[in-house]
Amino acid sequence: MRPHNMIARLVFIGTLLGLAAAPLAGQCSECVFPGAEWERLRGSGLAAAGWDAEALQGVSDFLADFSNSTGVVVVQKGRVVYTFGDVEELSYLASVRKSILAMLYGYWVENGTIDLQSTMEDIGVDDIGGLLPIEKQARIEHLITARSGVYHPASNSGDNLADAPERGSQQPGSYMLFSNWDFNAAGAVFEQLTGRDIYDEAQAQIVIPIGFQDWDRSVHEKSGDLTVSRNPAYHFHMSTRDMARIGHLMLNEGNWDGRQVISQDWARRIVSVVTALEEMHPLSRRDGYFGYGYMWWLFDGPKATGPFEGAYTARGAIGQWITVFPAIDLVIAHKTNSVYRRTTSWASWHRMIELLFEAGGVEMSGAYPWG
């Protein structure tokens, strides 16, 4: 049984406790916000918003025949224009977790509890076998931008550690590498300095204020081989329609129906370029189209134009994305449930976006970034 009634009670309690701040306009001036349910455009309403229903059926045909997608939700200006698969199903999210943690950091940075300039040495962070003296000079900000220069093994796989330079060879802050040690340490540091469990904090800061429909706190637990590293991974389990709520919150720069859930400054900061496309590592990443911010991937480089200008995404292994297109007020949440032991390929994700843009009459005025 889905815990909808529990979420409704949590939302009510959150309102009483004043968990959201004073109103402040978000980026999308024409956006609406879902209540207990998303508003769904159909028929004439869908056509009036510029969407071709027949072309959207073509998206579904493609996903059914050529993709391993298990859930897709497309939201324009706060209204659902398209869904595919089971959008209520709770399942594992891989590296999308990192982008969510970046959102949680803001409140504690801005109230002074977390000083991003503190080093690992300052706050007593070490790991199995010891960090090198130069690695202990990595700052918290370096962890959440993947620039620590710490190439200690992580408690879980799924990163670029195999492409890392020699340990101790890079000055902290000078070299970006997607390393789970950074991200897991960022989680451990967050809990150490705030005294708050990441999942409890996500519930308080995001789940309650924006009214998740399918959240279940009891299924969340950290994992990893703690004989390799002291810092566990903190994967989330979410539904695709709740992933879309996170995207809509970010589209509106932390504002949710007039309440500033995450400060506008922080929401903007975490999706601003820290590492440009031409500075990414390993070098193969420079053949793509993503730079990096604060645990968010940013469309960057000469092809980040039209609808891709200012766009960004949370992304995880297997086929999980929360992609935000501010230029067209669009959010695409995509899920592939790991229990089916299949992966949605990059090519399928690319083609889905192309088909959705065609169905929505999005003007490209040039090639897609991956074209």
Amino acid symbol at 199: Y
Is this model's pTM higher than 0.85 or not?
yes
Amino acid symbol at 190: F
What does the pLDDT read at residue 339? 87
pLDDT in tens, the chain (371 residues): 344 444 444 443 343 333 333 334 456 889 999 999 999 999 999 999 999 999 999 999 999 999 999 999 999 999 999 999 999 999 999 999 999 999 999 999 999 999 999 999 999 999 999 999 999 999 999 999 999 999 999 999 999 999 999 999 999 999 999 999 999 999 999 999 999 999 999 999 999 999 999 999 999 999 999 999 999 999 999 999 999 999 999 999 999 999 999 999 999 999 999 999 999 999 999 999 999 999 999 999 999 999 999 999 999 999 999 999 999 999 999 999 988 888 999 999 999 999 999 999 998 877 899 98
CA 41 remoteness from chain centre? 25
Residue pair 178/162 in contact (Cβ under 8 Å)? The answer is no
Domain ranges of the chain: 4-219+227-359
Residues 6+ apart with CB under 8 A from 229: 127, 128, 152, 153, 154, 155, 181, 184
What does the pLDDT read at residue 2? 43
Q: What span, in angstroms and rounded, lies between the C-alpha atoms of 225 and 131?
A: 18
- The CATH-assigned architecture of domain 4-219+227-359 is 3-Layer(aba) Sandwich (3.40)
Kindly write down the DSSP assignment for every residue of 157-225, as one continuous string. Answer: --SSGGG---TT-S-TTS-----HHHHHHHHHHHHHHH---HHHHHIIIIIHHHT-SS--GGG---BS-
What does the pLDDT read at residue 73? 98
Structure-block tokens of residue 274:
């820290």
